[in-house]
Amino acid sequence: MNNNNKHSSHSHHNHGDMDHSKHEHLSTEEHGDHNKDQHHDHHAGHEHGGHGGHDHHHHGNFKELFLKSLPLGIIIMLLSPMAGFDLPFQFTFPYSDIVVAILSTILIIYGGRPFYQGAVDEFKQKEPGMMALVSLGLSVSYLYSIYTVIASYVTGEQIMDFFFEFASLLLIMLLGHWIEMKAIGEAGDAQEELAKLVPKDAHVVLEDDSIETRPVADLKVGDLIRVQAGENVPADGTIERGESRLNEALLTGESKSIKKGPGDEVIGGSTNGEGVLYIKVLETGDKSFISQVQDLISQAQSQPSRAENIAQKVAGWLFYIAVTAALIAFVVWMLVADIPMAVKFAITTLVIACPHALGLAIPLVTARSTSLGASRGLLVKDREALEIAQDADVMILDKTGTLTTGEFKVLDVEPFNNKYNKEEIIALLAGIEGGSSHPIAQSIISFADQEGISPVSFDSIDVISGAGVEGKAKGHSYQLISQKAYGRNLDMDIPKGATLSILVENDDAIGAVSLGDELKPTSKELIQALKKNNIQPIMATGDNEKAALGVSEDLGIEYRSNQSPQDKYELVKALKDEGKKVIMVGDGVNDAPSLALADVGIAVGAGTQVALDSADVILTQSDPGDIESFIELAHKTTRKMKQNLFWGAGYNFIAIPLAAGILAPIGITLSPAVGAILMSLSTVIVAINAILLRLDPKI
């Protein structure tokens, strides 16, 4: 497995919080047109359950449409009385009605275009929805008003027109869409943020050591590139020469910059600190880590989830309910009053029923939760995972590397007699292990280094086959041997699951060091959080009984030891057969089959391609605390989706009867313009509600 995939999961750390600050200055100018291509291509598909066709309000830049339609709309509203009221700021002159009719025609052709194009798309899909409703409201008010102008010249009678309502409705709809596009833009375009990380050009070192600047797109695997201090790394690779600290926060979510030197891997897009690095290119373009992450994000954002499919069905029903209610209102009011009155109520009903807020309800929450997750090192590939996870019953966790650090660490050093104190024992241990590259030796040496203790210098060191090492220092001979080789009982508390090495001088034990695989700091909190959410944690590990028991007692959870990947797969299957919803957390390579089988598969820091393919969620930082963030994100996202569905659909059930004039007998009616304001307001509430999705700060 080539190692550069190591980080593939580390992807994206796009923009959590910074994202907003950045987007803020993106004026909608820039937002504008790329909005329609970018946000909209993914929004289009996913707004409507992903059949791609529905790309409403993806026609045109709404900011520009609104600003250019505004003067026309204002003139129309000044020249035509509002539903029969004479307002103080209105004025008319001979033939002003013809001027209004001409201006309205220009307005409906220019400003109404996106709504009509959207409606055509909806009918092609045989799924009339919000665009169909808006278009119907605009058409009825426009056509009826044009008819009143013609009639007044032909028959001479003055009939009330709806130019004021028509113009105000169109302007409010355009304004609503512009606000909505802005919100979608801000809810998170993680991919663009990532793309900005990769520089345009790279400095390639040629054979004669001269430097040639080349576009990143032309880099080949094997090229040697130079990255100066402060520059971003143009491609994935390994360091050939130079040392520096690299900031990979945007990719892995790890906020501290990491020290790297020759032989270490670097990810394209990370920022180089103070040193100059010479890097050999391992992956470019589509294969690079950033681009894999971008693909992941776009897949996640374009998949329809269950909540979205519900939203879409509701939008469809609302279309039919609204059209029926409008027809009933029209007929009733025509019989009770007159045609202008009937037209007014029919239009208001159509306008107010636009299930706009509904189309946005879910996609906005999704976009926001995708980028929030990303800022925490959570790549949610399959959005359904969030909806399923909040009902999960069991979580199966791998031990090494997930709950524990997977590295040997010195847990304790204990002197046995008064001859040596603890510091002296550590100095001897570090000295005797000085020449060894064994992981245990390395962990002892780095422990002494952290404690600021310099090793005793040994004159000679030899390996005792199968038992340990021996050496001479200052005329004394010492041995560091395993508990088994020492063969006598020791009076000391050994941490559970730890390995013990004994330091012996002249056949006398003078001290001992216990080493073990340490629990990660956030493992305990994770287990508490799972229990609080009624999710039963089970640890499944390939380790032996003793090691497994130690960790399970520390954490207070059930465990299964000596589990092969096949055993883990069987465990997931058995639990699913009992009707339980199972989340599996593991590393991507050997746990791939069980990750794929579980209801939700979470791959931990697994960077390998296999994991990316088999898991629904990828934790780029192997931190158990992120699993907790994922459960929190699942609960909060699902809650926001429900709230938004309620806002988006619920208000219609009150508004449609009101708009149809059910309370007119007691003097309560809504004009089409007020209808349009209410409708836009529900859209804005839904957008703000989505943007308010937050995760608790990490401690």
Q: Hey, which residues are catalytic here?
A: 398
Bridging pattern class, strands 258-260 and 201-205: unpaired
Burial of 496 (0-12, 13-18, 19+ CB in 10 A): middle
Residue 452 per-residue DSSP state = T
- DSSP code for 455: P
Of 653, 643, 655, the closest CA to residue 680 belongs to: 655
Tokens of 487: 């063969």
H/E run at residue 564: none
Whether residue 513 contacts residue 500, with contact meaning beta carbons closer than 8 Å, is answered with yes
* Residue type at 327 in one-letter notation: L
The DSSP secondary structure of 484-533, one letter per residue, reads HHH-S---SPPPTT-EEEEEEETTEEEEEEEEEEEEPTTHHHHHHHHHHT
Rounded distance, CA 601 to CA 611, Å?
Answer: 9
Q: Which of 660, 676, 658, 657 is nearest to 82 (CA)?
A: 676
**Three-state SS across 185-243?**
HHHCCHHHHHHHHCCCEEEEECCCCCEEEEEHHHCCCCCEEEECCCCECCCEEEEEECC
Contact 467, 482 (CB under 8 A): yes
Contact 58, 40 (CB under 8 A): yes
* Amino acid making up residue 633: L
d(C-alpha 595, C-alpha 604), whole Å: 11
Q: Read off the amino acid at residue 134.
A: V
Return left, alpha or beta for 501; rule: phi > 0 is left, psi -120 to 50 is alpha, else beta.
Answer: beta
β-pairing verdict for 558-560 and 582-586: unpaired
- 673: helix, coil or strand? helix
Residue pair 226/278 in contact (Cβ under 8 Å)? The answer is yes
- For residue 4, the surrounding DSSP H or E stretch is none
Tokens at 55, concatenated: 């790309």
List b or e across 180-190, with b for residues whose CB sees 16 or more CB atoms inside 10 angstroms.
bbbbbbbbbbb
